[in-house]
Chain A
Amino acid sequence: DAGITQSPRHKVTETGTPVTLRCHQTENHRYMYWYRQDPGHGLRLIHYSYGVKDTDKGEVSDGYSVSRSKTEDFLLTLESATSSQTSVYFCAISERLGEKLFFGSGTQLSVL
């Protein structure tokens, strides 16, 4: 998986609790992304980062925040989890614009 580690791999949580997912890369790539995958929707971009402390919103950013304090780590936080955020979350990285994305193994999140 191109030196990408997502943690945790699986998580079950309750509505209203905060949740943080971590993406760690060893490739020193500049760009990092968080996607969610739901049946019938393909993958949808939540947030992305183009450098340390530089982040921007994707198409489904409501209810999510991100932080990138180091090149290798990109954190996704659900401040108050809802059942609609039950999904598989994928982190991805790329070295340059226009190049392919490498995806992590995913985190299965269930919000009960």
Chain B
Amino acid sequence: ELKVEQNPLFLSMQEGKNYTIYCNYSTTSDRLYWYRQDPGKSLESLFVLLSNGAVKQEGRLMASLDTKARLSTLHITAAVHDLSATYFCAVDIAQGAQKLVFGQGTRLTINP
């Protein structure tokens, strides 16, 4: 059974600081996704990582994928309050279909 584990599950940080969320998964996959969810809202796609060594950046967020280590990271640079949200990683386990297995989510709170 595939396991997708995020850590930390809860993160409280100050504005201006840097931090990293980790996503480990237990089976071979070269397709990994990051999503953001605000309280009571739907999920918003952040990044799609489709190969080993893939790195994508948008604004203060940067995601990377190491398929050999089965690890993805989401790095936050100089955090600002409006990045407060829950962040999910998801691993695609299927060939010929898109079956995502999600991590538990990391609830990020950024304090002024």
Spell out A's residues near B (CB within 8 Å).
1, 31, 33, 40-45, 48, 50, 56, 58-59, 90, 92, 94, 97-106
Within 8 A of A (CB), among B25-56: 31, 33, 41-45, 48, 50
- Report whether A100 and B48 are in contact in the complex, using a CB–CB cutoff of 8 Å: yes
Q: Which listed residue, A59, A90, A98, touches B42 by the CB 8 Å rule? A: A90
Chain A residue contacts of B99, Cβ below 8 A: 45, 48, 58-59
In the complex, which range does the number of interface residues on chain B fall in? 20 to 34
Apart from A41-B104, A98-B48, what 4 extra A-B contacts exist at CB < 8 Å?
A40-B104, A43-B88, A92-B43, A103-B43
A108 to chain B, nearest CB (A): 9
Contact of A42 among B44, B98, B105 (CB under 8 A): B105
Residues of B with Cβ closer than 8 Å to A?
Answer: 4, 31, 33, 41-45, 48, 50, 88, 90, 92, 96-105
Chain A residues in 8 Å Cβ range of B4: 42
Contact of B102 with A43 in the complex, beta carbons under 8 Å: yes
Which residues of chain B are near A94, meaning CB under 8 Å?
A: 98
A97-B96, A100-B33, A101-B33 known; A42-B42 Cβ under 8 A? no
Given the complex, which residues of B lie within 8 Å of A97, measured CB to CB? 96-98
Cβ contact within 8 Å between B42 and A99: no
Residues of B within 8 A of A98 (CB): 31, 48, 50, 92, 98
